[in-house]
Chains A and B, each alone.
Chain A
Amino acid sequence: MNQKEFLHFFVKNKKVVFAICVYIVLITLAIIGPYISPYKDPLEFVGPGYQPPCKEYWLGTNTFGQDIFTQLVYGLRSSLLVGLSGGTLATVLGLFIGFVAGYKGGWFDEILMMFTNILLVIPTLALLIIIAAYLPYRGIFIESLIIGFTGWPWIARAVRSQTLSLKTREFVDLARITARGPIKIIFGEIMPNMMSYVFMVFIIEFGVAIHSATGLDFIGLGPTRGISLGIMLQQATLWNAIQLGMWWWIITPGAIITLMVATLYVMNAGLDEVFNPKLREM
Chain B
Amino acid sequence: MSLLKFENITKEFPLGFFGKEKLKAVDNVSFEIERFKIVSLIGESGSGKTTIGKLILKLINPTSGKIFFEGTDITQIKGNKLRKYYKRVQGVFQDPYSSFNPIYKVDRILNMVFEEFFPEVQGLERHHKIEEVIASVGMNPKSILGKYPHQLSGGQLQRILIARALLLNINLLIADEIISMLDASTRVDILNLLGKLKEKGMSVIFITHDLSLGYYISDQTFIMYKGNIVEMGDTEKVFHYPLHPYTKMLLDSIPEIDRKWNLSKRYIPELVTSSDSMCKYFDRCPLKNEKCKKERPQFVEVEKNHKVLCLNVKI
Contacts and interface: CB of A to CB of B under 8 A. Distances in A.
Say if A and B assemble together. Answer: yes
Interface of A: 2, 169-171, 173-180, 189, 192-193
Interface string B111-122: 011001100000
Given A177-B59, A179-B116, A193-B103, A170 B82 contact: no
B112 A175 contact: yes
8 contacts: A170-B93, A173-B99, A176-B59, A177-B58, A178-B86, A178-B113, A179-B82, A193-B102
Majority SS of interface residues in chain A?
Answer: helix
Interface in B55-97: 57-59, 82-83, 86, 90-91, 93-95
A179 B94 CA distance: 20
Interface residues of B, number: 25
Given A173-B93, A177-B86, A180-B112, A2 B99 contact: no
A170 B181 CA distance: 14
B116 A170 contact: no
B63 to A, nearest CB: 16
A170 B94 contact: yes
B100 A171 contact: yes
Contacts of B112: 175, 178, 180
Given A170-B93, A174-B109, A177-B91, A192 B101 contact: yes
B95 A2 contact: no
A138 B44 CA distance: 66
B36 interface: no
B148 interface: yes
Contacts of A193: 101-103
Given A178-B112, A179-B83, A170 B95 contact: yes
Contacts of A179: 82-83, 86, 116-117
Contacts of B58: 177
Contacts of B94: 170
Nearest to B92: A174
Given A171-B98, A178-B109, A192-B103, 17 more contacts: A2-B148, A170-B93, A170-B94, A170-B95, A170-B99, A171-B100, A173-B57, A173-B59, A174-B91, A174-B99, A175-B112, A177-B57, A177-B58, A178-B117, A179-B86, A179-B116, A180-B116
Nearest to A190: B101
